[in-house]
Structure formats: C-alpha cells, structure tokens
Amino acid sequence: MKICVCVKQVPDSWAEKKLTAGDSTLDRAAADRVVNELDEYAVEEALRIIEAGEGEVTILSMGPDEAADSVRKAISMGAHAGIHVSDPALYGSDALATSLVLAKAIEGRGFDLIIFGSESTDARMSVVPAMVAARLGLPQMTFANKVEVSGSNLTIHRVTDYGYDEVQSTLPAVVSVVEKTNEPRYPSFKNIMAAKKAPMETLSLSDLGLDAATVGLANAWSEVKDFAERPAKAKGTVITDEGNGAEKIEEFLVTQKFI
C-alpha cells in the first residue's frame, strides 16, 4: 500500500492572521508556521492503515522554502518520505493552481490512496481534495470520519448534516478526513531522528512539466480587489450580575425583538 498525505503549512490557528497590504496574500510572517492541524488527522489515518497491513507513507506539500519544515514535521509522526514542491512562480497560487500542481506531483507514482485534511485553517475553502480528485479522475471520498480499507475496496463515512453517508469505492482514491477522525500521535524521539534522514524530493515547476504561466498570483482565476480590517465593534452594555442579570438580558432581548 502506497499512501500520499498532502499537508499545508499554515499560520498557527490560535494566532491572529493578516493579509499583506501590497498584494493581498496571506502574511505568512505574521504568525508562527505550523502543519495545518487537520492534516495531522490525515497523517495519523495513513499510518494506521499501513500499520494494519504494510506499506509506505509519503508526505507531499506545496509551499515556500520554509514549508520543508512542515514536511519533516509530518514525516516525524512516522511517515517514510517527503516531496516538497517549491518554486517562486507558485507564490500567490489559488486553489485551482494548487490542485493542478499537487495532481501533477501525485500522478504516475502509483499511490493507492491520497489523503488530505478536509480543510486548511487559513483559507478554509475545503475544495482542494475534491479538485485533486477531479484532476486525477479518481473517486472522491471526502469529509470522512471513518476510513476502512479492505483489499482494493474502500469504505468511508462521509459526514453530512444529518449524520453520515456510507460511501464505497475502489482504490486508488482521494480521501479527506475531518477533525477528530482519530487521535494524532506525537512524534517519538526515534521518529524525529528518522525524519531528519528520510528521503526528501524537492521539485520545481519545470520538474513537474508545468508552465509558470498556469500558476501564481498573476495567473489566478480570481483576484482580491481590496480588503479591510473589520471595524472594532461598538462597545456594548456590560453589567455585573446582582441577582438581576437574567432580568436585564430579558429586557435586552425584548427591545431587540428576540422574545
């Protein structure tokens, strides 16, 4: 079983995030960079699948030079190898370009499963796994909170408003997992040391046979016209409860016509 897990380096989800004034891209320097939290569930799921049988897990990430740290970090959970796609021309790429690059990096390597976290905590679009499935022409088995592999068959529980759909496909397939699918492990000392020596490929756009005119900020399919910080909310009324707290809330809800 060969599994590819796609991870994204993002600003820490507990930090305030900002856009850059010049070109409206994410200000990556404004916050600590971490592996997207939801991708840790994807790595954990991949490790559980190979531990139940056999196989190898490869971590794939597209991002600036620093994203290599996130690939190593993900490998240190117990994965075997890394692929880092990095090219100055990728700066400012949108989801369409990102999915194109990831699909190119994945195809032809014989992966049985490609696993994503269901969204990144910065862009929060939740579209890249579906887009990569579309580009590769593979079954889209996304928003899973349960993943079962049996031979060449795959069954997931796809989370829905009402509960879940049980969905089946064959391998190879593209999977995304939601938060709390499992309990991601902490890297062991042994695996942290192993990750330092794990094979890592660094690929440029030309290595992938892609033209710089198909990616990057200038070639994005959408553009930011302008942005602004949300104005601070006008200070509301805050009172201290002296046995009348509920009564005061009741009055407020009545004046606002909620009750």
Partner 1 sequence: MSEVLVLVEHSEGTIKKVSLELLAMAAGIGEPSAVFVGPGADAAIATLGDHGAKVVYVADGQAMLDHVVVPTVDVLAKLVAEKSPDAVLIPSSADGKEIAGRLAIAVDSGVITDAVAVSADAIATQNVFGGATIVHSKVSKGTPIITVRTNSIAPVQSGGTATRVDVAVEISAVAGSTKVVNRVSVQKSGRPDLSEAAIVVSGGRGVGSDAGFASVIEPLADALGAAVGASRAATDAGWYPHQFQVGQTGKTVSPQLYVANGISGAIQHRAGMQTSKTVVVVNKDPDAPIFDLADFGVVGDLHSVVPDLTTRVKARK
In whole angstroms, the minimum distance from the beta carbon of 49 to partner 1 comes to 18
> Of these, 162, 189, 209, 213, which contacts partner 1 (CB under 8 A)?
162
* 151 touches partner 1 by CB under 8 A: no
* Cα–Cα dist 213/192, whole Å: 38
Residue 37's SS3 state is helix
Q: Decide if residue 246 touches partner 1 (CB under 8 A).
A: yes
Q: Which stretch binds partner 1 (CB under 8 A): 1-9, 66-74, 160-168, 196-204?
A: 160-168
Q: Are 48 and 15 in contact (CB under 8 A)?
A: no
30 binds partner 1 (CB under 8 A): no
Q: How far is Cα 216 from Cα 224, in angstroms, rounded to an integer?
A: 14
Identify which of residues 86 and 155 has a Cβ nearer to partner 1 in the complex. Answer: 155
Tokens of 216: 């990057």
Compute the least distance from the CB of residue 58 to partner 1, in Å.
23
Task: Name residues contacting partner 1, limited to 173-192 (CB under 8 A).
Answer: 173, 179-180
| Angstrom distance (rounded) from CA 139 to CA 133 | 6
Site for partner 1 in 102-141 (CB under 8 A): 118, 121-122, 124-131, 133-135, 137-141
Phi, psi angles (nearest 5°) of residue 116: -120, 160
- What is the rounded distance in angstroms from the CA atom of residue 127 to the CA atom of residue 104? 17
Query: Would you say 154 and 170 are in contact if contact means Cβ atoms under 8 Å apart?
Result: yes
Q: Are 157 and 181 in contact (CB under 8 A)?
A: no
Cis status, amide bond into 199, omega within 30 of 0: no
> Minimum distance from CB of 100 to partner 1 (Å)?
9
Between 123 and 194, CB nearer to partner 1:
123
| Distance of closest approach, residue 194 Cβ to partner 1, in angstroms | 29
- Rounded to a whole number of angstroms, the minimum distance from the CB of residue 259 to partner 1 is 5
Q: Are 107 and 76 in contact (CB under 8 A)?
A: no
Q: Kindly tell me which of 160 and 197 has the beta carbon lying closer to partner 1.
A: 160
Q: Which of 29, 52, 193, 239 binds partner 1 (CB under 8 A)?
A: 239
CB nearer to partner 1: pick between 29 and 193: 29
To the nearest whole angstrom, how small is the minimum distance from the Cβ of residue 143 to partner 1?
Answer: 5
Rama region for 257: left / alpha / beta (φ>0; ψ in -120 to 50; rest): left
- The nearest distance, CB 82 to partner 1, in angstroms, is 25
Residue 213 near partner 1 by CB under 8 A: no
Radius of gyration of the chain (CA): 22
Q: State how far the Cα of 89 lies from the Cα of 80, in Å rounded to an integer.
A: 28
Binders of partner 1 among residues 44 to 103 (CB under 8 A) are 94-96, 99
